[in-house]
Structure 1
Amino acid sequence: MSVQIITIDGPSGSGKGTLAAKLAAHYQFHLLDSGALYRLLGLALQQKQLIDALDTQLQQCIDIATSLNIDFKTTTQGIQVLLNGEDVSQTIRTERVGEFASKVAAIPELRAALLTRQHAFAQAPGLVADGRDMATTIFPQAQAKIYLTASAESRAVRRVKQLQAMGLDVKINDILANIIARDKRDMERTTAPLKPADDAYIIDSSNLSIDEVFALMTTYVDQRLAN
């Protein structure tokens, strides 16, 4: 492959997004937040009252998936996500939209509709791809494959802090239940289930800081990209 690719897969709340952005900045690679694509599609379908009609209105949902007007902009505050020109950066990070995304991801035809769009992100000099099936399905030939995980409890604590920082009133028991349910759905889906690639470097971030995980990642990636 002429384009160097780093994949980071793992369950919701493991820190993939933050660390993928740090890696992309460190190596000056492009960034693909595949979860954002699924969240954006889930939000778009919900806005058109189709999120509960994925089976009965599948072709209409596919048409929307292939024509989504999406834009990612890098700002001093991070990555701004636009859907049809509207800033939905915070909206797509809510638990409700996360559940929409998980429903969308379970439909093979909708996953296929987003496949070409994800492949298009692989441009020189390189790409950091963050998701759930980047190494197993989307970029199986990636030079560096990372699987980032953490206990459901530690992920729930992080998620509560993140949502509270956004001004939302949330309860940890509700968040924990959502995380456990989403893990089950993602791991048991028939198409591209959440699991580490056979040759992935697995990191458990439950008791590690962002900086500690980042150090482990860069040591591994430097070795892989040098080969």
Structure 2
Amino acid sequence: MNKITIAIDGFSSTGKSTVAKQLAKHLGYIYVDTGAMYRAVTYYAMQHNFISASHFDIEGLVSELHKIEISFVFNEEVGFAEVYLNAENVEKQIRTLEVSGFVSQIATIPEVRYQLVKQQQKMGENKGVVMDGRDIGTVVFPYAELKIFMTASAETRAQRRYDELIKRGDEVSFKDVLHNVQERDYIDSNRKDSPLVKASDAIEIDNSNLSLEEQFDKILQLVNNALENNS
């Protein structure tokens, strides 16, 4: 069966992971959440006191990158692959606002990006993969058959993230969530190594006013077109 590589990039909280999971399940493809990989490294850094509000020991973290093993294990109960850090399920721990506050800083470290990009490229070498992140269409899979760049207003994305955290039981304020979204946008777009940019051949989708169903149908049509062109 003809298979392609689908690269989905975009700003934080644009629903990249949601639609990527939907597509992977519908197509029978492998789904890789690269953002979760950076979150796992961030969680490791926090646990080992390499990063906090008062300090950032980059050399210390880089020296231990060889100790960090990230994997995805499918959980039938929830219907998607959960993130494991050194054989421990950290799916819930890496989704906190605290981790969100540091992840963009971790993602600026060239050594971290180099190690994770190598792992990501290996995961997708046989195609049949849906991968979302910040530099999938520009760095990880520059020759992907379909590239999508997702965007929405900062306020819309902050509201989505806020609702998600409140539903989980986290105690957060909308103001803090919005600040986090805006701060991550700036860091992601202005870092020196692999900044968040739209690939020249990516199709931009603003989902500010799209329902999940409308978004999925729109992107699935793009996938079908790409499959036809690649046959």
Once the two structures are superposed, residues 113-139 of structure 1 have per-residue CA deviations (whole angstroms, 9 ceiling, x without a partner) of 212111111154511011000001110
The residue identity in structure 2 corresponding to 1:129 is M
C-alpha distance in 2 between matches for 1:118 and 1:112:
10
Once the two structures are superposed, residues 52-108 of structure 1 have per-residue CA deviations (whole angstroms, 9 ceiling, x without a partner) of 4344x2xx4234333323231222213322222322111111121122221111111
| Equivalence for 1:91 | 93
In the TM superposition, residue 159 of structure 1 has moved relative to its aligned partner by 0.5
| SS of residue paired to 2:172 | coil
CA contact (8 A) 1:145 1:199 kept: yes
CA contact (8 A) 1:66 1:114 kept: no
Number of corresponding residues: 223
1:42-191 alignment, distance < 5 Å: 42-51=42-51, 52-55=55-58, 57=59, 60-75=60-75, 76-77=77-78, 78-124=80-126, 126-191=128-193
CA contact (8 A) 2:38 2:107 kept: yes
TM-score by length of structure 2 reads 0.91
How has the CA–CA distance of structure 1 residues 113 and 71 changed in structure 2, closer, same or farther, with 3 Å as cutoff? closer
CA contact (8 A) 2:31 2:129 kept: yes
The residue identity in structure 1 corresponding to 2:70 is I
| Equivalence for 1:28 | 28
Moved more, 123-132 or 13-22: 123-132
The residue identity in structure 1 corresponding to 2:61 is C
TM-score by length of structure 1 reads 0.93
Coordinate RMSD, CA, aligned: 1.6
Task: Show structure 2 runs of 5+ residues with no match.
Answer: none
C-alpha distance in 2 between matches for 1:66 and 1:128:
26
CA contact (8 A) 2:3 2:227 kept: no
In the TM superposition, residue 217 of structure 1 has moved relative to its aligned partner by 0.5
C-alpha distance in 1 between matches for 2:175 and 2:192:
28
| SS of residue paired to 1:117 | helix
Task: Show structure 1 runs of 5+ residues with no match.
Answer: none
C-alpha distance in 1 between matches for 2:184 and 2:50:
20
CA contact (8 A) 2:5 2:127 kept: no
C-alpha distance in 1 between matches for 2:106 and 2:176:
22
How has the CA–CA distance of structure 1 residues 156 and 18 changed in structure 2, closer, same or farther, with 3 Å as cutoff? same
